[in-house]
Amino acid sequence: MKDKDSRVFRVASDKPFLIGLGILGGSYLLIIVSMVLADLFFLNYVDQPVLGDELVKQGRHIESGVIVPTETGRRYFFRAGKNEKGLRQADGPLLGTGLFIADSSEVVLISSDEQFKPVTASLRPEVRLKNYAITNNVATLTTDEPHGLLWGEFIRVSSSDEVGWDGIREITETTSDQLSFMVDEGASLAGSILLSKPNPLVQAMRSRDIRFSIKLSLISCTLTTLFSLWIAVPIGYVMSRFQFRGKALIDTLLDIPIVLPPLVVGLSLLILFRYMPDWLSDAVVYKWPAVVLAQFMVACAFAVRTMRVTFDQIPQRFEQVALTLGCNRKKAFWRVIMPQAKGGLLAAGTLAWARALGEFGPILVFAGATRQKTEVLPTSAFLELQAGRTEGMLAVSLIMIAAAAVVFIVARTLGMKRIFA
């Protein structure tokens, strides 16, 4: 006879739980991949024509389309906005974003579904050369339209009939319709000259300011990593192996740079050095040592935390066996503990280097953002954005992504597979 209180227990399926975990984890991975791909695909990696002023004025779409005057036979660059399907010229096919040659005296912007929406398209002519001259190996070109190029930018020059012109040239002087750059020794007047703008990555790698920021970033991040490990190893070992009064307070203090906003760290350093001797303050504040110190104050906290976890994972009995066999604590540390901590040491160094590379707030407050003085890669991205050069900012961002990826690959190759696998 069956017991009335007996129940049949069934194990619930794990699929809903696993699906939930996959959705939560996958969404974060999707955001990471999407951010990197957005940076990669936003930039145009081919040379672009030199364009004149915007021809599309502010207004609204009407039923017959917005008419924009053009010059027959001239090249134009059109970019459709969110309210346009494209443009049409002389009853021809609908054209989308890109270069085209005008075959009539006007083009018509075709709106999307609804009328009376604001015009969001862009139409700009390709500039043409009116005349040029060479004086002391400096070529001065005059264009028929304002070219929009700035001093210090780079331009690709090519000539089909004369040597000494071809190459990427830095603009040394510019006005609204003139630009000057150096040409090779012996260059003479050419029959035809073509101008184009190199892609943003080429522009960034050619820029003296950004090359300086790359150099300073590599030096400062390496110094920060070495200083961080120099401090993190002994602190991590002491906090892991010894019990003493005030340990909880010290542990809390070590985490302050992690939880504080980076801007506050820079401001605190700036106030601290007001109480330092003048010779020390003058040598550090708003100089390149301030960059290293600002990076160190944040990166070292992450290295300390990593090294403490590393030493916690190494059983103390290994050290105790070494002590019973005649080693003192110093020899046991170097011969027993450190060989087992090399993976954590590499992880702490990689984390400190990557954290230093991306540091911006403390550097901006404590070291400033001076070109070719305290400019590191995050500062370069900020200055490019401040100047309205979005593509230049993204080019610097890609350089930072590439540098971080190289460090991560090297670290994995040298033995961090167990840590990051």
Q: What is the pTM for the complete model shown?
A: 0.79
Task: Report, as an integer, the average pLDDT of 45-56.
Answer: 84
Quote the CA–CA distance of 396 and 14 in Å, as a whole number.
45
Can you tell me whether residue 164 is helix, strand or coil? Answer: coil
Do 73 and 174 have their domain in common?
no
Q: Which two structure tokens, joined as six digits, stand for 232?
A: 């993190």
Write the CATH number for 157. 2.40.30.20
Taking all residues of the chain, what is their mean pLDDT, rounded to a whole number? 83
Model confidence at 419: pLDDT above 60: no
CA distance 146 to 314: 68
Query: Which residue is listed with tokens 């992690």?
Result: 258
CA distance 139 to 120: 37
Task: With respect to residue 107, please indicate whether it lies within any of the assigned structural domains.
Answer: yes
Q: Residue 232 — pLDDT band, cuts 50, 70, 90?
A: very high
Greatest mean pLDDT range, 52-61, 199-208, 267-276? 267-276
Quick one: DSSP state of residue 201?
A: H
Q: Is residue 357's pLDDT more than 80?
A: yes
Residues in contact with 229: Cβ distance below 8 Å, sequence separation at least 6, in sequence order: 303, 307, 345, 348, 349, 352
Please indicate, yes or no, whether residues 331 and 355 belong to a single structural domain of this protein.
Answer: yes
Q: Do 133 and 117 share a structural domain?
A: no
Which CATH number belongs to the domain containing residue 366 in this structure? 1.10.3720.10
Q: Within this chain, do residues 184 and 326 fall inside the same structural domain, yes or no?
A: no
Range of the domain at 159: 129-198
Q: What's the number of domains the chain is made of? A: 3
153 pLDDT more than 60: yes
Chosen domain end from 104, 125, 146: 125
Q: List phi, psi (to 5°) of 226.
A: -65, -45
Residue 159's DSSP bridge partners are 193
Domain boundary pick from 125, 160, 180: 125
- φ/ψ of residue 173, rounded to 5: -155, 145
Pair (411, 322) in one structural domain: yes
Sheet containing 106-111: give its strands across: 66-69, 106-111, 84-88
Q: What is d(CA 281, CA 287) in angstroms, rounded to the nearest whole number?
A: 10
Within 10 Å of residue 316's Cβ, how many Cβ atoms?
12
- 42 lies in a domain? no
User: Mean pLDDT, to the nearest integer, of 168-196?
Assistant: 82
